[in-house]
Amino acid sequence: MKKDIYKLRIFLFSLLGLTVLILIYKAIVPFGKIIYAFNPCGNSFIISKIKPAERVEDPRRNKILGLPLGNCAQKITGDPVYFNLETQRGFDRAKITLEYRRLKNKIIEIGVLADKERHYRLQPLENQIIDNLAWRKIEQDGVILLQREENYNSVDEFFNNPPNKEKVLTYHYDLPAEEKINNYGNLLASSKAFSAGSVRPLRGAYQFYTYIGGEDFDFNFIFTNLKTNDKDDNIKIVVYYKNSAVEQKEIKNEGEISIKLPGPPDGFYKIAISASDDVITEKIATTQRILSFINRVWLAGTPEPGLINLTTDSSEIFARTINPNSLQKILVRDKILKLDETYQQFSQVAEMPITNIRLAKDDVIIAGDGVFSFSNEAFYNPDYKKVNKNTDVDRQGIGYIITSYEPRDFEDGWQVRTVDFDLTKAYRYEGVYGFIISVPGLLVEDEINDWVEIGEIWIELEGRTLLNKILNIEY
């Protein structure tokens, strides 16, 4: 009897020891590779549920769904959604395989959290706009050129002799922005002189492009503060030339900042103003002709706004306000964008390459994927336009798309696709990697029946082996 008890004790403690070893193995991943699987119906500590709850439906467990590999799925009805991956150690690469199907949505992207400011590094999972093009394709070193007509024999030829910027779209590829404006002197001569009063007071942070062509760089900003709290507000201006900061100035709360650069090199400059929403830019005075605000402007509230005109090349214009006195009908070319609720975003698709926007009231945030200017003369966008959910290559007269996305044959039903991420550039906070699934245009509150349904998610992680780590410590 005693022998049997000892045997049982040995067996139970061996099982405990084995369990501890397995847990330590799963935590340190000594061979550097591990795969985690997520099922919407399961409860996993490693991969969290998809959230927020208001943008997803309850998971459905039903064999009639026709799921090829599992028997549970969850619909995403709003964009974007998030999930986390909690690991005991860091990894270098992740291969995420998603089993999904969709109704109506053209672009699905997945991304990893890149920094603590909650920026995500997105990768395309599917882009039906590109998949459906029957254009000629050239591939070179992971860069794909799609052309409506075969005008280029290689990607290098395209880079060396690019076509008119208006005919090119990019998708997940950073094509260098235009560097010089041809015949800038003629543009200066033919257009009206810049008027300091033409830029409306702006609220909060913003960025804009300007252009220097044989002239000095001269800007003067006047800032005031709404003082809604006792905290100091830092106001920082950074001037970038070819993606490098060339000048920087800072003040607190309010005051005047003057930036002068004598004899700067010709080209486009980006000016970034970092400020809280309490800071108002009352005035921007400059000798520069071009002022194009990038993606977003918050028109500050003023006692008598008058009629506000904006020019933009955005494909879709978004408007939002937190001020009930700013509710209005905004004219987007000849269409009406109704801004009839506060704290809600409304949008209007712009069907022309350049659109004029007219507002009767300010204290409104206007946003889009292009640039905004307060006059036609001040308008210029040096960036290439990107493929988005509203892209219509025929209507826009596009002849070329340059991308890192490999087009695939479009199929209905369940898909299984894989995306790679470099986790060395990802932000891991308290052992957690954050991920996003982005489906532009997927809104809960619209009455359109569109969704993306997720079956299973597999995450294959790869990193340094235990041996590599030990050897690194020795040396």
Partner 1 sequence: MNSKAYLITREIFYTLLTALIVFIIMEIVKPNIVQAYINMNLMLILWLVSGIILLVSSYRS
| Among the listed residues 358, 362, 382, the one whose alpha carbon sits nearest the alpha carbon of residue 310 | 358
Place of tokens 């943008």: 55
Of residues 189 through 208, those in contact with partner 1 by CB under 8 A are none
Beta bridge partners of 311: 356, 373
Place of tokens 């087009």: 407
Helix H or strand E segment including 16: helix 2-28
Q: How far is the CB of 46 from partner 1 (least distance, A)?
A: 6
For the residues of 199-252, what is the DSSP string, one character each?
SPPEES-EEEEEEESSS-EEEEEEEEE---SSS--EEEEEEEETTEEEEEEEEE
Q: Give yes or no for a contact between 108 and 440, defined as CB atoms under 8 angstroms apart.
A: no
Total residues binding partner 1 (CB under 8 A): 19
Q: How far is the CB of 458 from partner 1 (least distance, A)?
A: 17
Number of helices and strands (H, E) in the chain? 5, 32
Residue closer to partner 1 by CB (options 86, 166) is: 86
Q: Cα separation of 308 and 324, whole Å? A: 18
Of residues 7 through 66, those in contact with partner 1 by CB under 8 A are 8-9, 12-13, 15-16, 19-20, 23-24, 26-27, 45-46
Q: How far is the CB of 33 from partner 1 (least distance, A)?
A: 18
- What x-and-dash track marks residues 72-111 binding partner 1 by CB under 8 A? --------------x-x-----------------------
Residue closer to partner 1 by CB (options 47, 239) is: 47
Q: Locate 296 and state its tokens.
A: 């977003």
Q: How far is the CB of 426 from partner 1 (least distance, A)?
A: 19
Residue closer to partner 1 by CB (options 1, 189) is: 1
Q: How far, in whole angstroms, is CA 98 from its chain's centroid?
A: 20
Residue closer to partner 1 by CB (options 43, 244) is: 43
Q: Cα separation of 265 and 140, whole Å? A: 33
- From the list 324, 344, 431, 444, which residue makes contact with partner 1 (rule: CB under 8 A)? 431
Q: How far is the CB of 85 from partner 1 (least distance, A)?
A: 11
Q: How far is the CB of 22 from partner 1 (least distance, A)?
A: 8
Q: Give yes or no for a contact between 365 and 297, defined as CB atoms under 8 angstroms apart.
A: yes
Residue closer to partner 1 by CB (options 20, 352) is: 20
The 3-state DSSP class for residue 72 equals strand
Residue closer to partner 1 by CB (options 36, 240) is: 36
Q: How far is the CB of 7 from partner 1 (least distance, A)?
A: 10
Q: How far is the CB of 25 from partner 1 (least distance, A)?
A: 11
Rounded (10°) CA dihedral 106, 163, 212, 288: -60
Residue closer to partner 1 by CB (options 146, 457) is: 457
Residue closer to partner 1 by CB (options 83, 372) is: 83
Q: How far is the CB of 269 from partner 1 (least distance, A)?
A: 48
Selected range binding partner 1 among 5-13, 181-189, 277-285, 394-402, rule: CB under 8 A: 5-13
Rama region for 394: left / alpha / beta (φ>0; ψ in -120 to 50; rest) = alpha
Residue closer to partner 1 by CB (options 88, 132) is: 88
Of residues 389 through 428, those in contact with partner 1 by CB under 8 A are none
Rounded (10°) CA dihedral 395, 396, 401, 407: -30
Rg over CA atoms, the chain: 27
Of residues 238 through 277, those in contact with partner 1 by CB under 8 A are none
- What x-and-dash track marks residues 348-387 binding partner 1 by CB under 8 A? ----------------------------------------
Q: How far is the CB of 23 from partner 1 (least distance, A)?
A: 6
Question: What secondary structure letter does DSSP report for 198?
Answer: G
Selected range binding partner 1 among 3-11, 123-131, 297-305, 363-371, rule: CB under 8 A: 3-11
| Among the listed residues 333, 319, 332, 331, the one whose alpha carbon sits nearest the alpha carbon of residue 363 | 319
Q: Cα separation of 87 and 430, whole Å? A: 9
N-to-C CA span, the chain? 55
- From the list 1, 134, 189, 307, which residue makes contact with partner 1 (rule: CB under 8 A)? 1
- From the list 3, 5, 334, 412, which residue makes contact with partner 1 (rule: CB under 8 A)? 5
Q: Cα separation of 241 and 407, whole Å? A: 34
Q: How far is the CB of 293 from partner 1 (least distance, A)?
A: 45
Q: Applying CB under 8 A, which residues contact partner 1? A: 1, 5, 8-9, 12-13, 15-16, 19-20, 23-24, 26-27, 45-46, 86, 88, 431
